[in-house]
Amino acid sequence: MTKRMIAMLAAVILVIGGILGFKYMMAIGAKQYLSHMPQPPQTVSTTLAGEQMWQQEVDAVGTVRAVNGADLSSELSGIVESIDFSSGADVKKGDILVQLRDEDDTAKLQALQAAASLAATTLTRDRKQLAVQAISQATFDKDQATLDSDNAQVSQQQAIIDKKTIRAPFAGHLGIRQVDIGQYVAAGTPLVTLQQLNPIYVDFNVPEQALAQLSVGQKIAARCDAAPNAVFDGTISSINSKIDEATRNVQVRASFKNPDEKLLPGMFARVSITTGAPQELITLPATAITYNPYGDTVFLAEKGKDGKLAARQTFVTVGQTRGDQVSVLSGVKKGDEVVTSGQLKLHNGTPLTVNNKVQPADISNPKPVDE
């Protein structure tokens, strides 16, 4: 390579290096310029942190079930002879509901009764003859066994006839009948549902951590979508003796008075159990909390030395939630101005403009509105 080529190559390298250096210096200068530019204020909504009386609660969802409930059916097949109830009626224990046709069974019962009557007459005669040794003891014992067998068959046939009369096993409220007169029903075919509605149970599950806060006899409140404005008061009647290994939850049963029969088996219910004494805690709207893997934070709107509002991020420890509200155990003091919306565009020191014309929900017991 000649000296001239080396010189040209060196000149090209110097030119390229100069261009790159110039671009680098321009980028550094632009970054420094931007860093010294004043940031435009970001519009947020805020609220003043205040204290409220906070009652600790254990919340859960459950299912309403009857104290006694059954889909009634017949143990035997047959044709429906009569239906002695109306759909939706209240019945007492032992009331006849459905009668299946039993003429053949009754005729067979009469035949068995006649045979048993004859066996009883024969045994009476044998007893007199045995007393004068006109017959052997073996003959008397055989006729005694015959009478016992005939009486057993009579009882068996009577039981079959009784099973063709379906009665209410307990007092309760009937549902809609599922059969008609003249219909053939097989054994086990549902005829009608019977539910005892007052009192009524609500079964629900709670985590094992809440078990220490519950006890039999404790007061409980329930709400259901079918009666959105009603609150049903009850008591815990039993707590399961074991914890589910798969979910680590324990089943709890509460008893409720239900005189108006507004609670029906199968309903979805939301239950809440108050625990401990009321506490005065700082509460914030749920939108004010930013949840992160490294810790939960909020932004405070604080005045700087220049008197202007700026954002300051701080870590908080949150407690239980109640509707749209979250209790804050540490990190925020009473009277602090907390950002409730617009946090995504903030970092420490961001200038703020407050616009509270629209505020996020902050209700302890929100209710959906049908539109």
Could you give all domains of the chain from N- to C-terminal order, each with its CATH number?
42-54+279-354 (2.40.420.20), 58-67+196-274 (2.40.30.170), 105-160 (1.10.287)
> Could you give the C-alpha distances from 5 to 1, 10, 14, 310, 317, in angstroms and in order?
6, 9, 14, 61, 71
Rounded to whole angstroms, how far apart are CA atoms 49 and 43?
19
230's CB contacts (< 8 A; 6+ apart) are: 223, 224, 262
State residue 136's pLDDT score.
83
The model's confidence at residue 30, banded by pLDDT at 50, 70 and 90, is: very low
Task: Using DSSP bridges, classify how beta strands 249-256 and 268-274 pair: parallel, antiparallel or unpaired.
Answer: unpaired
CA separation, residue 65 to residues 25, 198, 317 (Å)? 77, 11, 39
Helix (H, G, I), strand (E, B) or coil at 89: coil
3-state secondary structure of 19: helix
Q: In 3-state terms, what secondary structure has residue 325? A: strand
What's the pLDDT score for residue 235?
Answer: 92
254 pLDDT more than 90: yes
The pLDDT value recorded for residue 174 is 92
Asked if 198 contacts 208 with a C-beta cutoff of 8 angstroms, the reply is no
| 34: pLDDT strictly greater than 50 | no
With cut-offs at 50, 70 and 90, classify the pLDDT of residue 201.
Answer: very high
Q: Dihedral angle at the C-alpha atoms of 324, 328, 331, 336, nearest 10 degrees?
A: 60
pLDDT at 21: 59
* CA pair distance 242, 83, nearest whole angstrom: 44
- pLDDT for 309: 85
Structure tokens at 106: 């009754």
Give how far Cα 95 sits from Cα of 88, 142, 152, 172, 195, Å. 15, 42, 27, 11, 14
203: which strand partners? 63, 253
Residue 2 has pLDDT above 80, yes or no: no
Q: Given this model, what pLDDT does residue 200 score?
A: 92
Mean pLDDT score, 222-247: 89
Q: With beta carbons less than 8 A apart as the criterion, state whether 218 and 252 touch.
A: no
Region 128-155 average pLDDT? 84
Strand order in the sheet with 165-167: 165-167, 96-100, 78-83, 184-185
The pLDDT of residue 315 is 92
List, in sequence order, every residue forming a beta bridge with 184; answer none if it has no partner: 79
Give me the pLDDT at residue 33, please: 46
Q: Among positive and negative, which fits the CA dihedral 4, 10, 11, 16?
A: positive
Query: Distance between CA 241 and CA 3 in Å, rounded?
Result: 97
Whole-number Å distance between alpha carbons of 339 and 299: 5
